[in-house]
């Protein structure tokens, strides 16, 4: 019973709901059509005579099950920097400070220290006064000698009393002071020595993580030979030769914006594909058998060409072109089918219309149907767009893979990162500096992405994907540059990504998409990274050793400015060359490998 119906409800129990006869009685009184079964006494932690008020105070909860998942929390919040605080439970200094604070703190400390300081000060003052008033005995012979010389000394006792003399206590006090000063000096010296050793160890450890072997070389007439030592090859060198060849490519502007290397006429010789700045013409240079190139073969389009990709889109064994262009205020992906002789024709298939200018495009088989698909990312869009190919050159409508809210995808990479035989996607989010990895399932779907944190406070960055340890599984490499150029390797193993970070170049290098290539340059079956630095005019080779680390080699330097880099085989020597293209003087530079590296 209670003063109000609510109080009566809270004071009552649920005993009736445990008895079937009581439930039947309630059903008869209320004329309810629904039958009820009694509550079980074994499935609840509450007893039958528990009041409704007690149930309310316990929120009607039978059991609190707390599951903490920090990875899910981290994935949802997407912090730029993550830190943690460790609290020491048995810190002696903290315990003493806490006890003093509970008992009055500074007041008790001062009450205990001040009287002792006063006593010490008074004892020092008394000892100094006692030493000043001590009397030293006068030598009789000295006094007689003075009197013999007719020197009258007056008030001798007073003068002797005012004359401070050194006693035994003074000597002991001076020795103590000297001992204290020596002890303090030794302790300070030891501390400084330890700090110096620690600083030197940290500096030496940081310097030891960077292995840079610069190799210099200059261009002499038409041919220059450079002999850098390749990491992992004991006692042997690889001869690299620089060959200069002048080709009239008829570019009206100072540089090229699009640049590709491929065999477009199936003659087992590598041809050059390029476009001049703000041009709507695809230019092809066919390679001759003697290593030279023929005349330029143009293919005209109606818009400005932004990017070119080379692949076989219609499965006819001939290289085709995937052209990203801008036509009449529209961003489109056009397909040019190759004729096999270096010329191309516009495919009679629907083009891919893009909602805005893309930031990165990838052409790869995503759904494992032996047909190439197109994957596109856009700046400040929260999703990755996938266009699945039908095999005849046409594509489906876009499928979206959600990244996260307020994303800024800037780079895209494809590969089999979890070694399950299916192509996965990796997207670099420039806003949060995370890499979002979409691991494809066997049914063709993509679950929510796995987040990989990269770095912060960086200037230049670039994401790459390749097999750097020859285990037939793609790894992710993240290069970033500020004061140094650092490399982070992400390798998937046992259901998670593991990282390995090192400084590969001791200076900041401009990381540009046109100047980074992945290829096995030293024939050791490990994919290497070639970086062309446009600022320092050097080509850096990051040579993989198969364990997740890279050794730095400078392949050539001080040759030219504003150039593009790629790798391919020009002279059928089963070796790979680095091509360096400079359009300022219509000159083509090729870095030849003389195949003296053991395979």
Q: How confident is the model over 321-332, as pLDDT tens digits? A: 988 888 878 888
d(CA 489, CA 471): 15
Position 160 scores a pLDDT of 42
Among candidate residues 362, 351, 416, 368, the one with its CA nearest the CA of residue 386: 362
The Cβ of residue 301 has, within 10 Å, a number of other Cβ atoms equal to: 19
Position 297 scores a pLDDT of 87
The Cβ of residue 353 has, within 10 Å, a number of other Cβ atoms equal to: 10
Contact yes or no for 272/294 (Cβ under 8 A): no
Question: What would you measure as the largest C-alpha separation in the chain, in angstroms?
Answer: 144
Position 141 scores a pLDDT of 47
Beta strands in 101-161 (DSSP E): none
Q: Which residues contact 510 (CB under 8 A, 6 or more apart)?
A: 460, 481, 533, 534, 535
d(CA 320, CA 118): 96
Ramachandran assignment for 114, one of left (phi > 0), alpha (psi -120 to 50 degrees), beta (any other): alpha
Position 179 scores a pLDDT of 74
Domain boundaries, the chain: 238-255+455-598
Edge to edge, the sheet with strand 271-276 lists 256-262, 271-276, 281-287, 293-300
Contact yes or no for 235/560 (Cβ under 8 A): no
Beta strands in 506-576 (DSSP E): 516-519, 528-533, 538-544, 550-557, 564-568
Kind plus residue range of the DSSP H or E element containing 55: helix 52-57
Q: Show the low-confidence residues of the chain (pLDDT under 50).
A: 140-166, 203-240, 254, 558-563, 594, 596-599
Structure tokens at 73: 């929390």
What is the CATH topology of the domain spanning 238-255+455-598? Methylamine Dehydrogenase; Chain H (2.130.10)
Q: Sort strands 212-213 and 550-557 into parallel, antiparallel or unpaired.
A: parallel
Report CA 465 to chain centroid distance, whole Å: 14
Contact yes or no for 279/304 (Cβ under 8 A): yes
Q: Cα(first)–Cα(last) distance of the chain, in Å?
A: 94
d(CA 225, CA 99): 76
Structure tokens at 302: 């109606």
């Amino acid at each position: 019973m209670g003063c109000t119906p609510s109080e009566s409800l809270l004071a009552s129990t649920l005993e009736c709901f445990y008895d079937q006869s009581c439930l039947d009685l309630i059903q008869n009184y209320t004329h309810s059509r629904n039958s009820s079964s009694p509550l079980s006494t074994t499935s609840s932690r509450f007893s039958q005579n528990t009041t409704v008020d007690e149930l309310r105070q316990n929120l009607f909860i039978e059991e609190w099950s707390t599951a903490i998942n920090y990875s899910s929390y981290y994935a949802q919040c997407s912090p730029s920097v993550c830190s943690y605080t460790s609290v020491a439970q048995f810190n002696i200094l903290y315990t003493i400070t806490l006890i003093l604070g509970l008992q009055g703190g500074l007041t008790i400390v001062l009450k205990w220290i001040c009287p002792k300081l006063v006593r010490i000060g008074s004892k020092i003052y008394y000892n100094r006064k006692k030493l000043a008033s001590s009397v030293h005995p006068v030598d009789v012979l000295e006094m007689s000698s003075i009197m013999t010389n007719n020197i009258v000394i007056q008030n001798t006792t007073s003068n002797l009393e005012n004359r401070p003399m050194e006693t035994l206590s003074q000597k002991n006090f001076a020795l103590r002071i000297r001992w204290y000063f020596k002890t303090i000096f030794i302790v300070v010296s030891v501390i400084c020595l330890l700090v110096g050793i620690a600083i030197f160890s940290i500096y030496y450890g940081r310097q030891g993580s960077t292995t840079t072997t610069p190799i210099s070389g200059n261009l002499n007439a038409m041919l220059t030979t450079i002999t850098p030592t390749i990491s992992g090859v004991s006692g042997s060198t690889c001869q690299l030769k620089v060959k200069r060849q002048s080709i009239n490519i008829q570019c009206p502007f100072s540089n090229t914006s699009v640049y590709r290397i491929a065999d477009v006429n199936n003659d087992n010789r590598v041809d050059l594909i390029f476009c001049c700045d703000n041009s709507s013409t695809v230019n092809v240079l066919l390679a001759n058998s003697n290593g030279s190139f023929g005349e330029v073969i143009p293919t005209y389009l109606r818009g400005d060409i932004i990017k070119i990709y080379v692949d076989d889109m219609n499965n006819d064994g001939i290289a085709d072109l995937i052209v990203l262009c801008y036509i009449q205020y529209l961003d489109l992906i056009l397909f040019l089918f190759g004729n096999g002789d270096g010329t191309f024709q516009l495919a009679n298939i629907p083009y891919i219309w893009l909602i805005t200018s893309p930031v990165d495009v990838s052409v790869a088989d995503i759904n494992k149907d032996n047909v190439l698909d197109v994957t596109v990312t856009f700046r400040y869009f929260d999703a990755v767009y996938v266009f699945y190919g039908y095999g005849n050159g046409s594509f489906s409508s876009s499928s979206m893979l959600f990244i996260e809210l307020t994303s800024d995808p800037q780079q895209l990479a494809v590969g089999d990162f979890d070694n399950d035989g299916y192509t996965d996607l990796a997207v670099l989010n420039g806003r949060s500096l995370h890499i979002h990895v979409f691991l494809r399932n066997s049914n063709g779907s993509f679950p929510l992405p796995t987040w990989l944190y990269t770095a912060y406070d960086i200037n230049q960055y670039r994401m790459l994907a390749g097999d750097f340890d020859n285990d037939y599984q793609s790894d992710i490499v993240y290069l970033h540059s500020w004061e140094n150029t650092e490399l982070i390797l992400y390798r998937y193993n046992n259901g998670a990504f593991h990282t390995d970070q090192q400084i590969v170049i001791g200076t900041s290098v401009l990381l540009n998409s046109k100047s980074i290539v992945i290829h096995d340059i030293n024939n050791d079956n490990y994919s290497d990274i070639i970086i062309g630095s446009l600022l320092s005019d050097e080509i850096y080779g990051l040579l993989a050793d198969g364990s997740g680390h890279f050794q730095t080699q400078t392949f050539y330097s001080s040759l030219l400015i504003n150039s593009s880099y790629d790798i391919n085989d020009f002279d059928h020597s089963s070796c790979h060359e680095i091509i360096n293209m400079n359009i300022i003087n219509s000159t083509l530079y090729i870095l030849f490998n003389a195949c003296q590296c053991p395979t």
